[in-house]
Amino acid sequence: MTIIALVRHGQTDWNRDGRIQGRSDIPLNDTGRAQARAAAAALRGGDYARLVASPLSRAAETAEIIGASLGLGAPAVDARLRERAYGEAEGMQQAEYLERFPGGIAIPGAETDDEVVQRALDVVADLAAESEDPLIAVTHGGLISRLLRHVSDGRYPRAGERIGNGSQQVIEVTGSGIRVVSYIGS
């Protein structure tokens, strides 16, 4: 059994402005850095022994702040923790995105929900297979929400909820599957 805290990166200017980021490499803003410090404080005492992050700078910097605060050092990087590729929707304001791509379907150049879920399942299984030591994985809201929705049979995130910047969702990975241990909605 391996406990994994899935942490969404801190806020960026695009988060604040309601833009679709996807794989665009947008850095943290000062609010995001404060959220990373708050996430580190919330994770303190969790006996985490490992730290891994998406290579996108907003997740990597969040992980660096958490690692320094918890004495875990620099994070390992796993490209499979990247955000969903949103194709042509990247950079759009939320309102334009919802108007042009209702339901998020048929976005040219975008990764499908099934592809994101499979990638998330694969990386979580591989991280758990490396060691039973608890770990922190700093990643993105799209990946976390799709993974949680899949493993909780749609219970999380709840209708109308988003995965908040700097929030921590904890899962347990065993040989028989994945379960949500704790969930913090927005």
- CATH number of the CATH domain containing 105: 3.40.50.1240
Residue 167 domain boundaries: 2-182
The verdict on whether 150 is a catalytic residue reads no
Q: What is the pLDDT of residues 101-116, one digit of tens each?
A: 987 678 999 999 999 9
Question: Does pTM surpass 0.85?
Answer: yes
Low pLDDT (below 50) residues in the chain: none
Tokens read off for 55: 């290579």
**CB count, 10 Å around CB of 182?**
10
Q: Residue 186's pLDDT is what?
A: 66
3-class state of residue 165 by DSSP: coil
Distance CA 19, CA 154 (A): 25
3-class state of residue 15 by DSSP: helix
Q: Residue 160's pLDDT is what?
A: 86
Q: Which of 83, 90, 111, 140 is catalytic?
A: 83
Counted domains in the chain:
1
Backbone angles phi, psi at 26, to 5 degrees: -100, 130
Q: Name, in order, each residue with C-beta under 8 angstroms of 172's C-beta and a sequence gap of 6 or more.
A: 1, 2, 3, 4, 178, 179, 181
Distance CA 62, CA 140 (A): 11
Backbone angles phi, psi at 108, to 5 degrees: -60, 130
Give the E-state strand segments of the chain in sequence order. Answer: 2-8, 50-53, 76-77, 135-139, 168-174, 177-182
The verdict on whether 83 is a catalytic residue reads yes
Q: Residue 159's pLDDT is what?
A: 86
